[in-house]
Structure 1
Amino acid sequence: MHRRNLFKLGAAGLATAGLAPAISATSKQAVLGDRENDKWLHLGTGKSTLPNRHKQVDYDVVVLGGGAAGICAAVAAARKGSKVVLVQDRPVLGGNASSEMRVHLNGVNRLKTGLAERETGIIEEILLHNRFENPQESFPVWDHVLYDFVMREPNIELMLNTQGIEAIMDGDKIRQVRCWQLTTETEYLLGGKIFIDCSGDGLVAATAGAEYRTGREGKKEFNETFAPDEPDGWQMGASLLMSAKDMGKPIPYRAPSWAIPFDEKNAHKRRKFHAYHEGIWWIEVGSDDDIIADQEINRHKLMGYLHGVWDYIKNSGRFPESETLALDWVGSLPSRRESRRFIGDYIHSERDLTTYKHFPDAVAFGGWGIDEHNPGAMENIHMAPTIFHAHFDEVYQIPFRSLYSKDVPNLMFAGRNVSQTHIALASSRIMATCALMGQAVGTAATMCIEKNATPRQIAQQHINQLQEQLLRDDVFIPKRPANDTKDLVKKAASIFASTTHSGNAELLNNGWSRDIDGKIHHWQSVGLPADVQVEWQDTVKLSQIEIKCDTNVKRNIMMRKDSKNDENFNNTVPEEMVKSISLQARVKGKWQTIETIKENRTRLIKFNFDSIKTTAVRIRVDETYGDPRVKLFEIRAYS
């Protein structure tokens, strides 16, 4: 059997092919935590016993993978009331952005306008949390910021150092996921109603029998301009990064025995060394076959290539400024770009991006250029390391139908393993884009449980409700304004402000939560303090007010190694964001202060209070994080 054909086989297929033992999911041999021969004498009790290394736990939602997509999926489902377990096979969260790999958590960093169109919702909450808790921009501290962000959610159980290795099926649905926790030598069987595979490689989804593909589609299948003429097995490579620091004195360097010398003579001219002390992204290795099976081979190669490049920098004489530099951190875990892509009810492809196709079931967006890395990477060093096939004038939509399995009714995906072509992946693989997918499927998971529905049924029957919930939770969906019929501001008689510098207070009710496509959708004050007032003709009953303030989504706030602070990147808390805000309500003709927030930390500001009857509310902003004016985009009210 050709190695590539293995991609088409699940566990049952492998057994049939004679490549793996056909073991029943409930057979004694399949119990990884079986310790029947464990001769444990516990000296504290004087007894011989057996350690418990096999546990079964049930949840509503099981999320596999603790990168940006998995975190956002887990948090979204948990906040909607689901009991969630988040399974991560590493000791830290963050995936490619963690301290183990240190890739920038990019999103729609820059369109052709030169400005960002940044992602909001949960991923922005995370990045803002990091700006408050990690101003020193330390990657190890970033790991703990992510840990804090997840652990503070009461409905999430976090399992680190744990890998999901097999789906246990009940017919065509997943009943449990078999997991192995390395640090405790324990096998877990995690039951759930909805399973979300955000692991990138998608091992559990593959063992569930969900169809997937690897490699590059040919031009004809999806009429893709940038695809090769014929399909092949190439997948973009994994990168290994490093960083260096200036020691203030000459530091010699001698390459290890397994270093692979840098082939300067044949290297493409676009293999540049700009800011090499912060890592070189093009030190990568791809595959035209089973990139997962080749991981350890490629890891060793990448370590060799990395040291070969550093040896060239230090000892070739071409970089005299490197004399005082020493390696400060060297990655050992490659950050992968591509492997399995699972098939949903729709396969997202190149022309969906380049023609800005409108999807009735859009739930997320992207806009990073179509950035296809040279598949052979360091082993095709004569080629350019990457080709940006296209850049975008505006963001494109991502449909919900690409985020669940067409084969397994209770299985969804978020991240690079979703239903898309290789060329579409070259853009949408960016982590903040994957995070938006994660929030969408996490929100949908709780809807599935509440309605006893499959993801496909959500797509067919309840997509408007899903979209409205995402919009309420501050996810931007291109070309899709919010129109929540439960929002009582929709019934307001008037909305007005104390002062107006730009925009109009009435725009706070128009369904758009950012300035987009050249149109203004905000109100901005002349100075501070400033008020916005919402009036109703008749008394309304309220218990929630929600406000979306400005965090300047045209500027990026992710942590970078170079700590950029310019027109496109902000290395502090956005000065535009509201800091001090209060809510007043007119009750029986008298104004009452309902709540004051002195140190707001989010774009989506929520006031939750005991139900009141009122004819008006007043929102007063006293301070931002530095801007002398305040800008708001939306006000909502709920009973």
Structure 2
Amino acid sequence: MRRRDFFKKGATAAIAVGAIPMIATSCASTNDMVYDRENDKWYHLGTGKSGVNSRKKTDGYDVAVIGGGAAGICAAVASARNGDKTVLIQDRPVLGGNASSEMRVHLNGVNNIKGKAERETGIIEEILLHNRFDNEQEAFPVFDHVLYDFVVREPNLTLMLNTQAVDAVMDGDQIKSAMCWQATTEIMFTINAPIFIDCSGDGLLAATSGAEYRTGREGKAEFNEKYAPDEPDGWQMGATLLMSSKDMGKPMKYSPPSYAIKYTHEGASERRKFAGFHEGIWWIEVGSEDDIIAEAEVNRHKLMGYLHGVWDYIKNSGKFPEAENLALDWVGSLPGRRESRRFVGDHILSEKDMTEHKHFEDAVAFGGWSLDEHNPGGIENISEPPSYFHYHFKEVYQFPFRSLYSKNVSNLMFAGRNVSQTHIALSSSRIMATCALQGQAVGTAATICNKYDVLPREVGQKHINELQEQLMRDDVFIPKRNANDPKDLAKKASTIFGSSTSSGDAKNLTNGISRDIYGEINHWQSDGLSAEIQAEWESPITLSSIEIKCDTNVKRNIMMRKDSKNDDLYGNTVPKEMLKALSFEARVNGGWVALGAITDNRTRLIKMKFSSVKTTAIRVKMTETYGAENVKLFELRCYA
């Protein structure tokens, strides 16, 4: 019996893998996965009944998102907010992926372009702001709960933790169902959906669907990449284990465990530095030139050994007297992976697409981290630098939608490090905030698929303008692309003005550019508080919502860091520039009518919805920021 046929039998079929109770024997002529509870001898003392305990469930959704890292969270939230019933399936007990408390990697983005790039907005910024409000102490375990709150509060979104999508049931070239094992409940879920999005990094569901993918490094010739090796090979950037230490106020001894691997630093590249070692060393890394997924447990054991070997060197070599009072207070056990499968889309993004800033008509995201290709051997090749940092960008590049859906599985999209790109391109775009923008793009695209009953490729071919306009309305910046939503009635206003102006012009609020970029001012800023903006129409219009984008100082990063930086580039508090208190009014029959007020705003994109009114003018009164003397706005939108 073929495996796909086995699943289509439906009534008795199910799966198990790894921690899943998988039945597979070497003498069997098939590789069927079996989930059979007929031998379950359950006797319930409370009821006196015995029988088989049911462990199978089937659920249906409009969109199924696999993977709960930054990309998956943004994909699922975007899909849910745009009206689709969505499920987010995460194989860990916490959300966040590499940024979770299990791995504790900084959620970086284009901040590698120091002081010259404006960071990511949209859902990922909203997440980071949510953390600034609710996790002032900057605790990674609390960040897990901040992310949990951010997801479960969405009414259209179902979260399934401790659940892995282990196999795809196919119907032609489309995924019909995802077979998902929830380890904590022993339940095998069959998840049905018309659109699947794999944001899991390793992409097990996508791989089992038959989606084309590649691993390793392309040679120079295939994409004319300057920084690729001369010939293709199998190397993938490795995974890293982090740790942190605490100053105990007295000398602390350290004895390495039995599995520690001796480290001497002899012959190491001068670029293998120990700066900030008390918060972890990112180059304690092991890569692979073959099947990095199959080798994961072997490499995890190695990494634990290398981590303790390096800490032993720091504590006991005598070369780090500043470490005398330090003791480990957290050690990672789950390596943060950088690379494995890269699925093939209609376009494979390459080095030159980025370095030459290629313009894509279907651009939906951007990036700007350097071409940060880690040494293939990792810590096992210490004579080489830990990363080559081939190229530093001076401005952001575009990321196309054609690299975010499968070439051969027609209802499959992806976001994160598993998207359609070369190894060299991945060295930049793998950064989590960049992955998050991809996630918001595909989550939004999924709702357009369902709206028109089309597949992702057709969204790219026929509905790309609608996708881009919705993303920009939802506060995503697309380089070199101005918003021009025909439904936005603010663009039809005869005049827009402010009560006072210290910089910019109120007319900028409808120019379609929601940030100051490329040396141009696209804002209006008041001269003190309180302040007002007002829009007028020559003929009455019907309105039911007003949307504005305020200032959160996107030149300053707000991700949580283990070293809690607070300088010109990083802020560890709520941005003082953000608008806190405001109210909305409409002029109806010559008089001003209150539409609503917000006293504790927590987002850059502020939406006020109200019962429809027929009006000739609206005004927004702004009374308080989180500390700035003036209020700055970048956009005003009005909708019926």
TM range (shorter): over 0.9
Aligned mate of 1:46, from 48, 58, 63: 48
- AA of the residue aligned to 1:144: H
**Secondary structure of 1:25 counterpart:** helix
The residue correspondences of 1:550-561 to structure 2 (distance < 5 A) are: 550-561=551-562
Equivalent residues of 1:116, 1:556 under 8 A apart: no
- Does the 8 Å CA contact 2:556/2:568 hold for their aligned counterparts? yes
Name the structure 2 match of 1:9: none
SS of corresponding position for 1:130: helix
AA partner of residue 91 (structure 1): P
Q: Distance in 2 between matches of 1:180 and 1:478?
A: 40
Return closer, same or farther for 1:428/1:297 CA change in 2, 3 Å cut-off. same
Query: What is the Cα deviation at residue 31 of structure 1?
Result: 4.9
Q: Equivalent residue for 1:273? A: 274
Tell me how far 1:267 sits from its aligned partner: 1.5
Map of 1:395-434 to 2, 5 A cutoff? Answer: 395-434=396-435
Give the equivalent residue in structure 1 for 2:22: none
Shift of 1:631: 0.5
Given candidates 104, 121, 127, the residue that maps to 1:102 is: 104
Instruction: Give the 3-state SS of the residue equivalent to 1:388 in structure 2.
Output: coil
Asked if structure 1 preserves the Cα contact closer than 8 Å seen for 2:264 and 2:313, the reply is: no
Partner of 1:183, secondary structure, is coil
What amino acid is the match of 2:401? F
**1:135-190 deviation line (CA, Å, top 9, x unaligned):** 00000000000000000001111100000000000111000001111101111110
Structure 1 residues 201-258: Cα deviation after superposition (integer angstroms, max 9, x where no partner): 0011011010000000011110101101111100000000000001111111000111
SS in 2 for 1:216: coil
Equivalent in the alignment of 1:544: 545
- What is the letter of the counterpart of residue 71 of structure 2? A
The CA distance in 2 between the partners of 1:252 and 1:437, in whole Å, is 46
The superposition leaves residues 468-511 of structure 1 with CA deviations (integer Å, 9 ceiling, x where unpaired) of 00000000000000000110011100011111101000010100
CA distance, structure 2, for counterparts of residue 34 and residue 76 of structure 1:
37
Q: Residues 293-327 of structure 1, C-alpha deviation per residue, up to 9 Å, x if partnerless? A: 00000000000000000000000000111111100
Q: Which residue of 2 aligns with 1:215?
A: 216
| Partner SS, residue 371 of structure 1 | coil
How far did 1:23 drift? 7.2
Aligned to 1:24: 6
Distance in 1, Cα, partners of 2:117 & 2:397:
14
CA distance in structure 2 between the partners assigned to 1:116 and 1:266 by the alignment: 37
Question: Aligned runs of 1:464-543 on 2, under 5 Å?
Answer: 464-543=465-544
> CA–CA distance in 2 between the matches of 1:439 and 1:616?
33
- SS of the residue corresponding to residue 7 of structure 2 reads coil
CA separation of 1:501 and 1:110: change in aligned 2, threshold 3 A? farther
Shift of 1:620: 1.1
Residue of structure 2 in register with 1:302 after alignment: 303
* More displaced stretch, 464-473 vs 103-112: 103-112
Counterparts of 1:257-336 in structure 2 under 5 Å?
A: 257-336=258-337
Task: Give the secondary structure class of the aligned counterpart of 1:236.
Answer: strand
Partner of 1:7 in structure 2? none
| Aligned equivalents of 2:89, 2:360: Cα separation in 1 | 31
Q: Normalized against structure 1, the TM-score is what?
A: 0.96
Which residues in structure 2 correspond to 1:87-166 (within 5 Å)?
A: 87-111=89-113, 114-166=115-167
| Letter in structure 1 aligned against 2:80 | A
Could you say which residue in structure 1 is the equivalent of 2:80? Answer: 78
Asked if 1 retains the 8 angstrom alpha-carbon contact of 2:117 and 2:396, the reply is: no
Look up the equivalent residue of 2:576 and give its one-letter code: E
- In the TM superposition, what is the alpha-carbon distance from 1:378 to its structure 2 partner? 0.8
Aligned equivalents of 1:117, 1:58: Cα separation in 2: 39
Q: TM-score, normalised by structure 2?
A: 0.96
> Any conservation in 2 of the 1:488–1:636 contact (CA below 8 Å)?
yes
Q: How does 1:335-354 map to 2 (within 5 A)?
A: 335-354=336-355
Q: Equivalent residue for 2:20?
A: none
Q: 1:403 deviation in Å?
A: 0.1
1:223 and 1:244 map into 2 onto residues whose CA distance is 44
Q: 1:60 aligns with which of 37, 53, 62?
A: 62
- For 2:368, the equivalent position in structure 1 comes to 367
The Cα of 1:30 is off from its aligned counterpart by 4.4
1:26 Cα offset (Å): 3.8
Deviation above 6 Å: which 4+ runs of structure 1? none
CA distance in 1, matches of 2:166, 2:15: 12
2:443 counterpart of 1:442? yes
- 1:5 maps to none
Shift of residue 29, structure 1, vs aligned partner = 6.0
Which aligned pairs between 1:200-239 and structure 2 lie closer than 5 A? Answer: 200-239=201-240
Distance across 2 between alignment mates of 1:75 and 1:26: 31
Structure 2 portions without partners, runs of 5+: 17-34
Whole-Å Cα distance in 1 between the matches of residues 502 and 370 of structure 2?
35
Q: 1:270 Cα deviation (Å)?
A: 1.0
Report deviation, 1:575. Answer: 0.4
**Residue 39 (structure 2) aligns with:** 37
Shift of 1:50: 1.4
Query: Alpha-carbon deviation of 1:34?
Result: 2.5
Equivalence for 1:458: 459
Looking at structure 2, the residues matched to 598 and 30 of structure 1 have their Cα atoms a distance apart, in angstroms, of: 51
- Deviation of 1:116 after TM superposition, in Å, equals 3.9
Count of paired positions: 620
RMSD (Å) for aligned C-alpha atoms: 1.2
Q: SS where residue 211 of structure 2 aligns?
A: coil
Q: Which residue of 2 aligns with 1:252?
A: 253
How far did 1:115 drift?
3.6
Query: In 2, distance between residues paired with 1:635 and 1:159?
Result: 37
Once structures 1 and 2 are overlaid, which stretch shifts more, 590-599 or 609-618? 590-599
Aligned amino acid, residue 258 of structure 2: S
Query: 1:572-591 residue pairs with structure 2 within 5 A?
Result: 572-591=573-592
**Would you say the 8 A contact 1:341–1:416 is kept in 2?**
yes
Q: Is the 8 A contact 2:401 2:460 kept in 1?
A: yes
1:22 to partner: Cα distance = 8.3
Counterpart Cα distance in 2 of 1:496 and 1:181: 56
Residue aligned with 1:513, SS: coil
* SS of equivalent residue, structure 1 residue 302: helix
1:583, 1:437 → 2: CA distance? 33
Q: State the match for 1:628 in structure 2.
A: 629
**1:206 and 1:578 mapped to 2: Cα distance?**
45
- Please name the residue that 2:31 is paired with: none
Instruction: Classify the secondary structure of the residue corresponding to 2:586.
Output: strand
Cα distance in 2, alignment partners of residues 155 and 635 from structure 1: 27
The one-letter code matched in structure 2 to 1:311 is D
More off after superposition, 358-367 vs 257-266? 257-266
**Contact 2:365–2:478 (Cα < 8 Å) also in 1:** yes
> In the alignment, is the contact (CA less than 8 A) between 1:115 and 1:555 conserved in 2?
no
Kept in 1: contact 2:14–2:179 (CA 8 A): no
C-alpha distance after superposition, 1:580-632 (max 9, x if no partner) = 01111111101122111000000000010000011101111101000000100
Q: How far apart, CA to CA, are the structure 2 residues paired with 1:517 and 1:261?
A: 50
How far does residue 263 in structure 1 lie from its aligned partner after superposition? Answer: 3.1
- Report if the CA contact (8 A) 1:267-1:381 is conserved: yes
Q: How does 1:382-397 map to 2 (within 5 A)?
A: 382-397=383-398
Task: Quote the offset at 1:436 in angstroms.
Answer: 0.3
Distance between the aligned counterparts of 1:22 and 1:416, measured in 2?
A: 28
